[in-house]
Amino acid sequence: MTESFTYVNGILHAEQVDVARIAAEVGTPCYIYSAERLRHNYKEFRDAFAGMDIHIHYANKANPNLAVTRVLAACGAGADITSGGELERALAAGIKGQNIIYSGVGKTEVEIAAALKADIYQFNVESMPELHAINKVAAQMGKKTAVTLRVNPDVSARTYKKTSTGELGTKCGIDMVQLEEAMALFKTLPALDFKGFQVHIGSHVYDYEPFREAFLKLAELTHAWRARGYTVERLDLGGGVGIPYDGQSLAPFADYARTVRETVGNLGCQIAFEPGRRLVGDAGILLSRVTYDKQGHSNRFLILDAGMNDLIRPAMYEARHSIIPVKQSGAEQTALADIVGPVCETSDLFGVDYRLPGVGTGDLVAILQAGAYGAAMASTYNGRALIPEVMVSGNQYAVVRRRIAIQEQIDWESVPDWANVATH
């Protein structure tokens, strides 16, 4: 737990608000975010690089909720986006185009044009065809735009295989052996203004040594291309810094900051970061109620009203979140239980062998570290509603996304007349 989610008189509180009250008034399941924790995390990140010329661009993909983004924007954060939709969200949250970085391997010409219209800070370019596409659209619009090249440093992030993006064979970035060809294109693409290099080796990286290896390669590139007459004024170090999930340990964030200073801190470059999970991960919980306490032949199951459609990380990555009771109990330790959801497959599993004293049917539990890649990756699988999101600040709270009911989802759809015709 963090200082923003603590027990007060035996009841879990989000800042100064009893989460059982939120459950009663909003319903479960729901996400709860702490504005205070968001501000704390941003300040900690910013202050770790005091004295350096840094830009912090919140990775909108981690949690695109407008209220979350607005809180971080008020602290000074820009945005890192990966789609036209995220561009619209960042702008709607009050982030100016000049504080937006556009990443991602599949930018369409329509999305590129929208980003150029918004006058974004830079494109992180991941392929040579993309260089041509941005140049084409920018030239048609009479603009010249800043770009950095995302390089693939061939560094293992030592994290989940599905979120490791810095090794050869992944779709992300330009391989080092292709960099010469990519750099040569700037002589023939006049609408592009080369600014520097970017690297992002993966998500939830909790061993800082891969960062050191990748950043040293950026430093080598900077020296090499400066020696050839190129101006390298920006280095974008991406994101990926992990947070401690259940049972995990993580080196102090100061160690990451020291890694940055020791590898690229003396190059005279503007340094950009794209943190997501680091800013929002521990600022959110998933609040859920136990529907059934089921005792099988060999396993006990606590079946929640939240499912993998609400939080897919355990099913997709085998991630293990901390799970705690909302009401502390004086009961002796109870039998181990598997914490599962209502969705009709065995991957709908939040974790095995949890011990939650005093928790049974009807009781509330909180799944911690759920602020990142929770609601952002939610679905309506099994015909389930998109659940509410709530933000707390001090002793007040607000629903910042209401429940999207099934009837509303049905209303999105239409049935053509010919669907009523039976064939034999």
Instruction: Note the pLDDT tens digit of each residue in 103-156.
Output: 999 999 999 999 999 999 999 999 999 999 999 999 999 999 999 999 987 665
**What mean pLDDT value characterizes the chain?**
93
292 in Cβ contact with 303 (< 8 Å): yes
CA 151 to chain centre: 21
User: How far is the C-alpha of 115 from the C-alpha of 100, rounded, in Å?
Assistant: 9
Among 27-31, 196-200, 320-324, name the most confident range. Answer: 27-31
Helix, strand, coil percent values for the chain (each to nearest 5): 35, 25, 40
Reading the block at residue 215, the tokens are: 């950043």
Q: What is the CATH number of domain 35-280?
A: 3.20.20.10
CA-based Rg of the chain, rounded to a whole angstrom?
23
Tell me what pLDDT residue 413 has. Answer: 96
> Is 35-280 the same fold as 5-32+282-411?
no
Can you say whether the dihedral through the CA atoms of 397, 306, 362, 340 is positive or negative?
negative
Cα–Cα distance, 303 to 337 (Å, whole number): 10
pTM exceeds cut of 0.75: yes
Structural tokens at position 356:
């939650």
Q: Which CATH architecture has domain 5-32+282-411?
A: Beta Barrel (2.40)
Which residues have a Cβ under 8 Å from the Cβ of 266 and sit 6 or more positions away? none
Residue 79, classed as helix, strand or coil, is: strand
**CA atoms within 13 Å, Cβ hemisphere of 77:** 31
Selection from 143, 137, 169, 142 nearest residue 154 by Cα = 169
pLDDT at 162: 52
Q: Averaged over 332-352, what is the pLDDT?
A: 92
Name the percent of the chain lying above pLDDT 90.
82
Catalytic residue chosen out of the listed positions 75, 172, 269, 344? 344
Phi then psi for residue 8, to 5 deg, are -125, 115
- Which has the closest alpha carbon to 125: 221, 54, 197, 189? 197
* 8 A C-beta contact, residue 38 and residue 279: yes
Check pLDDT > 80 for residue 40.
Answer: yes
Place of tokens 């049974």: 360
Decide if 235 contacts 273 (C-beta within 8 A).
no
Helix (H, G, I), strand (E, B) or coil at 130: helix
Residue extents of the structural domains in the chain: 5-32+282-411, 35-280
Q: Kindly tell me the sign of the dihedral angle through the C-alpha atoms of 405, 411, 412, 417.
A: positive
pLDDT digits (tens, 9 = 90+) for 55-106: 999 999 999 999 999 999 999 999 999 999 999 999 999 999 999 999 999 9
The answer to whether 75 is a known catalytic residue is no
Q: Tell me the residue type at 116.
A: L
pLDDT for 278-313, tens place per residue? 999 999 999 999 999 999 999 999 999 999 999 999
> How many angstroms separate the CA atoms of 93 and 85, rounded?
12
Contact 322, 287 (CB under 8 A): no
